[in-house]
Structure 1
Amino acid sequence: MSEFFDVDGEARRALDLLGPAPENWVLARAGIDHDVFVVGGGQTGCAFAFALRRAGIGRVSVIDAARDADGAGVWLNRARMNTLRTPKTLVGPEIDVAGVGFRAWYEARFGRDAYRSIERAPRKQWAAYLAWYRAFLDIPVRYGVRLARIEPAGDHFRLHLDANGEARVETARKIVLCNGIAGNGRAHLPDTLAHLPPALLRHTSQAIDFAALRGKSVAVIGAAASAFDAAATALEAGAADVHLFARRDALASKPVSRTRGYPGAYDNYHSLPDALRWSQARRFRREGSTAPRDSIERVTRFANFHLHLGATIGAARVEANRIAVNVRGTAFFADLVIAGTGYVIDVPARPELVDIAPHVRLWRDQYTPPTAEADAVLGAHPYLGEALEYLEKTPGAAPWLRDIHVYNPAGFVSAGVPVGDVPSMKRDIPAVVRRISRDLFHADLDAHAARLNADIPADFDEPLYAASVWNPQEQQQPLIQD
């Protein structure tokens, strides 16, 4: 018997076993275009659309600034790893419907033995799975639409959009920000590099023409996974040499976040005391972000790869259309510098958040750590509620903030996982959907109370059972005899 099967048929069967998606129960409001507005049409935006549908919440709109599906998300763009960094066994966009999960899709395409042989999902196959997921579940995404500004308007928001070059305004009651790793901030460039011309400096978040690096010298700044992946891609494209500069004296190798991966800690992380959540975030910062072993092996097999440890970057300058990078008094020349220097959380830096940023409670507003545990980077993260909603800096000043849910890495200190990645999906997508459902229900409680108390016609009338009603006077014998 063949081990391959029809993934669409199996997925359809899994959905059938759950029963049909509920009809939309949210009451329409005059002047409101969308009950939920999802910003970002990648893996998480589509997963939210599916989860909201299963919760009976309609009028959901998903937008993405990319021109088409291939440009949405990271997997066919700035992601350069060969495999995902998370184990294949983690629950992803399928949430609780295994038939639309990666494993079901992969086994249908490549067989059960093939699935057993992999430790993590290959990146391009993960992208193909997400394309199938979006198409099979018929999740509409409006491409070429960018959120330019969120304007609070009482019990809803006015959303200023750039829709393929056309300015327009739409309204929504709830917003979910699934807008990626820089969704509450920006890419980080060290001051020593920020002045360099774009033709000679790229951040790992940007498009890079690796084919043009054949025979060229490349300097990579940073030692997290994205830096190693960029270095490997340059080497595989035929770069003459690649020098990677790491600040630490040894590469970070302890993935400390695994200590909180068991259900007790994972499921209850939001309820931990602030001091403990802060100390966990500080521990991660001290140990550093680790690159997977295979990312390091991918570059070390090249003799023309050179790792510089304890390398603090000094002044960088342009000489003869090349970059001279100063490290401990030695100048290294490169045709291109790639900054794998991560991101910073900086809510006011996002143009669409300008109107709301002054009201957002940050961790530095909520918690004052011991002096030895102070950390300005972590303090800039928003202090989020249990459904990843913004909270007010000043109680009562901006109650509408609770209607914006932050499903991007800005939730790291609050949630303990890289929000937006696969590890966060099983816990946080259902939590956000439950809160959205509760809020929308209670906002129209009078109408729902009327619906709950509505008259219901009888399914049947008395003639259905009248002949079977016991009448002792009609009985010839008593039920119990001596």
Structure 2
Amino acid sequence: MTISSPTLSGAGLEALNERVRFDLACLNLPPNNWVPTHTADDGQHVHDVVIVGGGQCGLVAAFALLSGGIRNIRIFDRNPAGREGPWVNYARMETLRSPKTLPGPSYGHASLTFRAWYEAQFGVDAWEALDKIPRPMWMDYLRWYREVLALPVENEVNVEHVTPEGELLKLELSGPGAERQSVLTRKLVMATGREGTGAPKIPDFVDALPRTAWAHTADDIDFNALEGKRVLVVGVGASAIDNAAEALEHGASNVRFLIRRAQMPTINKMMGIGSFGFTHGYASLPDAWRWRLMHYSFITQTPPPRGSTLRVSQHENAYFHFECGIEAVRMEGSEVVVTTRQGEVRGDFLILGTGFQIDPLARTELAGYADRILLWRDCYQPPEELAHEELGKFPYVGRDFAFQEREPGTAPWLGNIHCFNYGASVSLGKVSGDIPGISEGASWLAGAIAAQFYQQDIAAHWQTLQDYDAPELQGDEWTASPLPSCPDQTLQQKAPR
């Protein structure tokens, strides 16, 4: 049975905007700020939370904090307004993999879902006909989400470096949108997406190539320049497939996938255990179970979406070469020559679909102290059959997404940096990057930060409690009456015989 809002379907965004405002008003959101104001010794204003990243995770994290009455926040994003996150930068799939019905960053508000946004513009029939969410449309939805909630994203601001300053964090800023060179904050939330605790994974074999001969799928690739070119793609994950499709659609003479595996992965294993229980139970599992689950996910790999794969294979000049692990790469004139386990292959341009690596040392914001962050390899040694170097590099974060010290007492301020991105996934599951669980993750994050602030400021809250003197009663609501006088005999009792 189709269920839709009879008043909002096809009614336009302004009607939905009014509904959002009404829903928030009914829930008294956002409430007034309750966190005491802090200033530095030199009188500089101290922010309670700074969020780095204005994409979907940064937006829902900000909304969660504001909904909890933590209003002294700022959100910085390095991209121009409307281009936050990967969706219109380096993401090149036609549609999202996630089902259209997921609540995503709605944070429990039906009027903030993609479905509500879509139906308000196009109606219920269009919603029922929609299969997958077009990627650019998801960005349009996020732009609306930011606007209707009036989230204070400051664009074209780069956070260059983070350093401790007493109990605070000092953020050094750059970029056209930066109003000053630095700001102070009590908490930093790194809502920096897939590359948030690392960088694109660049294999050593490209060291022998000029930079003009190759690109990573996260790069800004000039696909028009690939018309008539022979393109070699390393890997067969979603990003490799999507970039290959772009090259083919821009007139590449052929595209060859160089795939280390013997077979194409076909089953998205993590889809088989997604549930309310998994979302909320995973983070409490013993290390051995968390490692086992993520190890299995890594080794089985996630297949590219069916639609994306068909987008490539419909081209007769697309070739999937399995068991073609790369042994060496060289240039011969203007040709890229790749030696694989199956032999040599030549092309004009190489695209790396090698994903991202987790490596806190690769983050310039953390330069100088990233080696003090506790990693999974510092906490857990798996049995030999479950060894996995990449998993060991993930930060071992707490339930509040905060970094922990490798050596206790050497860098306690790391607990004020919250890893609300892909880097937290081994510790906490899929709640800080993927669409299905980001509202739950944002709730955990905001609740943990609120609890820590309250504990840290307990003396101020105690004083507020004592100073509070707004009377609920004015003194005219009652009249005092004396106790009526009674004869002595009525007050005395004879002792029983």
Q: Which residue of 1 aligns with 2:495?
A: none
1:144-171 deviations in whole A, cap 9, x for unaligned?
2111111012211111111339771211
Alignment map for 1:254-265 (pairs within 5 Å): 254-265=267-278
1:396-423 CA-partner distances (Å, limit 9, x unpaired): 2222211111011111211222732212
Cα offsets for 1:198-229 (capped at 9, x unmatched): 21100001111112222221111111100001
Distance (Å, rounded) in 1 between the aligned partners of 2:176 and 2:475 = 63
Contact 1:257 1:417 in 2 (8 A): no
Distance in 2 between residues matched to 1:136 and 1:418, nearest whole Å: 24
Q: Return the offset for 1:92.
A: 1.6
Alignment match of 1:186 (pick from 184, 199, 216): 199
Distance 1:225 1:361 in 2: 30
Taking structure 1 as reference, are residues 415 and 457 closer, same or farther at Cα in structure 2, changes over 3 Å only? closer
Q: 1:123-180 CA deviation, whole Å, 9 max, x = no partner?
A: 1111101111111211122222111111012211111111339771211100000112
Partners of 2:395 and 2:155 in 1: CA distance: 28
**2:110 pairs with 1:101:** no
Residue number in structure 2 paired with 1:332: 345
What is the CA distance between 1:465 and its match in structure 2?
4.1
- The count of corresponding residues between Structure 1 and Structure 2 is 471
**Which residue does the alignment assign to 1:321?**
334
Contact 1:365 1:393 in 2 (8 A): yes
Contact 1:91 1:425 in 2 (8 A): no
**Is the 2:208–2:331 contact (alpha carbons within 8 Å) kept by the matching residues of 1?**
no
Q: Which residue of 2 aligns with 1:413?
A: 426
Pick from 136, 140, 154 the counterpart of residue 124 of structure 1.
136
Deviations 1:179-204 (A, max 9, x none): 12112111112222233222110000
Contact conserved, 1:187 with 1:343, CA < 8 A, in 2?
yes
In structure 1, what is the equivalent of residue 303 of structure 2? 290
Which residue in 1 is equivalent to 2:323?
310
Contact kept? 2:431, 2:439, Cα under 8 Å: no
Instruction: Give the Å deviation of 1:459.
Output: 2.5
Give 1:89 shift: 2.1
Contact 1:221 1:341 survives alignment (8 Å): yes
Q: 1:356-378 CA distances to partner (integer Å, 9 max, x unpaired)?
A: 31221100111111122111111
Shift of residue 451, structure 1, vs aligned partner: 1.4
Query: Which SS does the other structure have where 2:212 is aligned?
Result: coil
How far the C-alpha of 1:439 sits from its partner, in A, is 1.0
- The structural deviation recorded for 1:456 is 2.8
Of 17, 20, 36, 1:27 maps to 36
- Residues 215 and 399 of structure 1: is their aligned pair in 2 closer, same or farther, counting only changes over 3 Å? same
Q: Is the 8 A contact 2:76 2:155 kept in 1?
A: yes
2:431–2:438 Cα contact (<8 Å) kept: no
Give the whole-Å Cα distance in 2 for the aligned partners of 1:448 and 1:399: 24
Kindly report which structure 2 residues correspond to 1:425-464, keeping only aligned pairs within 5 A, or say none: 425-464=438-477
Larger CA deviation: 2-11 vs 440-449: 2-11
- Code of the aligned partner of 2:96: L
Aligned to 1:143: 155
8 Å CA contact 2:431, 2:441 repeated in 1 = no
Structure 1 position 462, deviation (Å): 4.2
Greater mean alpha carbon deviation, residues 431-440 or residues 330-339: 330-339
Offset, 1:106: 0.7
Q: Name the CA distance, whole Å, in 1 between partners of 2:60 and 2:431.
A: 16
Q: Which moved more, 1:311-320 or 1:455-464?
A: 455-464
The amino acid that maps onto 1:142 is: E
Contact 1:36–1:173, Cα closer than 8 Å, also in 2: yes
Matched, 1:159 2:168: no
Contact 1:219 1:245 in 2 (8 A): yes
**Are residue 404 (structure 1) and residue 413 (structure 2) matched?**
no
For 1:454 and 1:193, the matched residues in 2 are separated by: 67
Verify: 1:85 aligned to 2:114, yes or no: no
Distance 2:315 2:155 in 1: 40
Deviation, 1:461, is 3.3
Q: Structure 1's 262 and 385: CA in aligned 2 closer, same or farther, altered over 3 A?
A: same
Q: Distance in 2 between matches of 1:418 and 1:426?
A: 8
Which segment drifts farther, 390-399 or 216-225?
390-399
The amino acid that maps onto 2:335 is R
Partner of 2:437: 424
Bigger shift: 159-168 or 17-26? 159-168
Kindly provide the CA deviation profile for residues 257-297 of structure 1, in whole angstroms up to 9, marking residues without a partner as x: 12331111211111000000000111012101321111111
Q: Tell whether 2:370 aligns with 1:354.
A: no
Q: Residue 247 of structure 1 aligns to a residue in which SS?
A: coil
Contact persistence 1:248–1:310 (CA under 8 A): yes
Whether the aligned pair in 1 keeps the contact of 2:154 and 2:177 (CA below 8 Å) is: no
Match of 1:375 in 2: 388
**Corresponding residue of 2:88:** 76
Residue identity over aligned pairs, in percent, reads 37
User: Does the Cα contact within 8 Å between 1:325 and 1:332 map onto a contact in 2?
Assistant: yes
- The alignment's C-alpha RMSD in Å is 2.0
Hey, what does 1:111 align to over in structure 2?
123
Match of 1:14 in 2: 23
SS of 2:220 mapped into structure 1: coil
CA–CA separation in structure 2 for the residues paired with 1:25 and 1:247: 55
Corresponding residue of 1:477: none
Matched residue of 1:291: which SS? coil
In structure 2, relative to structure 1, the CA distance for the partners of 1:103 and 1:194 (3 Å cut) is farther
One-letter identity of the residue aligned with 1:115: W
- Aligned match for 1:38, one of 43, 51, 55: 51
1:254 alignment partner, SS class: coil
Deviations 1:15-64 (A, max 9, x none): 22212411111111112431101001111112222111111112211111
What's the TM-score, normalizing by structure 2? 0.90
